[in-house]
Amino acid sequence: MKKYLLFAAAFWLFVSCEKELDYNLDSVEPQYVLNAMWYAGDSQHDVFLCTSNAFNVTPPQQTARVSCYVNGILVCETSHYTLEKTLNNISLHKYTLTANLHEGDQVEIVAKYPGHELHGTSSVPKAPHVQLDTTSVSRNTYDDQGRLIQEKRLYHIDLSLADEPGTDNYYRLISPFLRTEVRINHECLDVQEWPWLPFNEDDPVFKNLNVQFPKELLLEFPFLGGASNSTHVFSDELFKDKSYQFHFEIDQKDYMSNPWNERYSETTVRFRLFAIPWKEYTYLIATNAAMTSFYNPMAEPVTIPYNIEGGLGFFSVDNGFDRTITLKRCHYYNYMYETPAARPSGRGR
């Protein structure tokens, strides 16, 4: 009898859940969207504006007047914009403002359209204490006669973060950015850029967020394993009031060009680690979840939080460590054209 009752109850619930909803998306009013994520170390800051419609995102039909207030004082205002396109081919209006920001500043953005205003506020957090240490070993290349062909090095780089004691802190690690310029004398022949350098995506500090793919899906599609925290945000939960270290390796042999048409190359690497506000932390966690659910057929819909009054979108200001280092210059030797005095030889050189 219990089995039949459970079956009847399940059938009743299944039938009762079927209901058609009369909902017309065409009746939804367009919403203005403002997005701006600033870094306190910059003096030029971008504000992106668009319109969210029922089925697409379009540039606003009107021009806005965008203002920036720091601690209640107007510091910049502009109505000039450029039309930008995202990687997903979404068109936006980009407004650029000039403002010098410091720790503790209260920053407000106001975008005014005829008959409508958008507001966003954020405070500038305290910059974290970060130390960068580098060591390197030779990765030179020699020919069959022991002559030096290429000067390269393998770098081991440690980025140490000291947590601010007594408070809950939130951080974001930006993937290092590498740039190589190939030269003959002082003439630049070629520029190559790598906006993302690989590092340990399985670092435990990135895994303290409950945004993961199901294990069964990871076994079937292992390439999805690193997508759960693609924004690389983390809290100080695992190292509160202490320090944490990130390790990077850069082998210059992985970033080389054709050595026969050049004399040397110069390489710079940019490292960034920011303190971020709590609201940005929650916003980027939701962004992680949205990116994960895009590939996960079993995921539930994700609601992205926003902090813009009068519309949608998000505004925040980061503060932190931003440093570009120059690696050892890589020389190339072509023994067909160089004089004997300029030719290094022997592995001991």
pLDDT at position 275:
97
* Neighbouring C-beta atoms of residue 251, cutoff 10 Å: 13
The residue type found at 291 is: M
* pLDDT at residue 102 greater than cutoff 50: yes
How many Å apart are CA 17 and CA 136, to the nearest integer? 64
- Residue 18 CA, distance from chain mean position: 43
Let me know: does 95 contact 60? Beta carbons within 8 Å: no
DSSP per-residue letters across 28-93: SPPEEEEEEEEETT-SEEEEEEEEE-SS-EE--SS--EEEEEETTEEEEEE---EEEE-TT--EEE
Q: State pLDDT tens for residues 9-43.
A: 555 555 555 666 666 666 678 899 999 999 999 99
Whether residue 300 is predicted with pLDDT greater than 80 in this model: the reply is no
Task: Point out which residues pair with 45 in neighbouring strands.
Answer: 97
Of 268, 106, 236, 108, nearest to 172 by C-alpha is 236
List the beta bridge partners of residue 70: 73, 107
Query: Which residue, among 308, 255, 251, has the nearest Cα to 283 in the 3D structure?
Result: 308
pLDDT band at 118 (very low <50, low <70, confident <90, very high): very high
Q: Parse the chain into domains and list their residue ranges.
A: 28-123, 129-304+320-342
Superfamily the domain 28-123 falls into: Immunoglobulins (2.60.40.10)
Question: Pairing relation of β-strands 106-113 and 65-70?
Answer: antiparallel
pLDDT of residue 82: 96
DSSP string of 280-312? HHHHHHHHHHHHHHHH-TTPPP-PPP---BTSE
CA distance 232 to 291: 13
Residue 317 to residue 109: CA distance in whole angstroms:
11
* Top-confidence residue, 261 or 144: 144
Tell the residue number behind the tokens 């920036």, with chain if given. 68
Residue with the larger pLDDT of the pair 284 and 187: 284
Question: In b/e form, how buried is each residue of 288-327, taking b as 16+ CB within 10 angstroms?
Answer: bbebbbeebeebeebeeebbbebbbbbbbbbbbbbeeeeb
217-256 pLDDT per residue, tens: 556 655 454 456 888 999 999 999 999 999 999 999 888 7
d(CA 289, CA 301): 9
Cα-based distances in Å from 79 to 108, 122, 272, 315, 343: 17, 22, 31, 19, 59
Tokens of 110: 């106001």
Name the nearest CA neighbour of 33 among 121, 118, 123: 118
pLDDT surpasses 60 at 106: yes
Q: Judge whether 241 and 163 are in contact, CB under 8 Å.
A: yes
Tell me the C-alpha to C-alpha distance, in Å, between residue 31 and each of 60, 113, 198, 290: 10, 12, 38, 20
Query: What does the pLDDT look like over 48-82, one tens digit per residue?
Result: 999 998 888 899 999 999 999 999 999 999 999 99
* Tally of CB atoms within 10 A around 18: 6
